[in-house]
Amino acid sequence: MATIRIPTPLRAYTEGESNIEVGGDTVGEALANLVGKHPELRMHLFQDDELRSFVNIFIGDEDIRFMQGLETEISADDNLRIIPSIAGGRQRK
């Protein structure tokens, strides 16, 4: 099973888990399995069935946008990463 690394901001929706193993032959299937396990992640990653434009998914060091997107095939030893857009530790009001 491939591993998906969850960035800190999203761990609130994975019960704190940082590396999650998921089945699936493509990036899209792996992400579907991920949000199946952790339904609250869905709205943060997807809008309808499309990945949100600010969500960056990498396999190893490659951006899936420059591969075949959600159709990109993956193997069991692949490491997927969700790269968050972060700006700083600004205090909340």
Partner 1 sequence: MPSLHQRFADLSNDEVKRYSRHVIMPEVGMEGQRRLKASSVLLIGTGGLGSPLALYLAAAGVGRIGLVDYDVVDFTNLQRQVIHGVSTVGASKLDSAETRMLDLNPDISVEKYDEPLTSENALRIFADDWDVVIDGTDNFPTRYLVNDACVKLGIPNVYGSIFRFEGQLSVFYAEAGPCYRCMFPEPPPPGLVPSCAEGGVLGILPGTIGTMQATEAIKLLLGIGDPMIGRMMLYDALEMSFQTIKLRKDPNCPVCGIAPEDIELIDYEQFCGMPAHDHSEFSSVDESADLDIRTVTVQDVKTALDNGDDVVVIDVRDPHEWDISVIDGTLRIPKPDIQLAKNGIQGGRRLWEETVLKDIPKDKTLYLHCRSGVRSADSIAFLSEVGYDLDKMYNVEGGILAWADEIDPAMPKY
Q: Which of 42, 53, 32, 37 is nearest to 10 (CA)?
A: 42
Closest separation in Å from C-beta 73 to partner 1: 19
Which residues of the chain form contacts with partner 1 (CB under 8 A)?
7-10, 12-13, 18, 40, 43-44, 52-54, 56, 58, 61-63, 66, 81, 83-93
Give the Cα separation of 2 and 29 in Å (integer).
11
Q: How far is the CB of 69 from partner 1 (least distance, A)?
A: 14
| CB of 37 vs partner 1, minimal distance in Å | 16
CA-CA distance, 8 to 37, in Å (whole number)?
Answer: 18
Nearer to partner 1, 5 or 23 (CB): 5
**Distance (Å, whole) CA 22 – CA 30:** 6
CB nearer to partner 1: pick between 18 and 68: 18
Closer CB to partner 1, 70 or 81, in the complex: 81
Distance spanning both ends of the chain, measured CA to CA? 41
21, two tokens: 């193993």
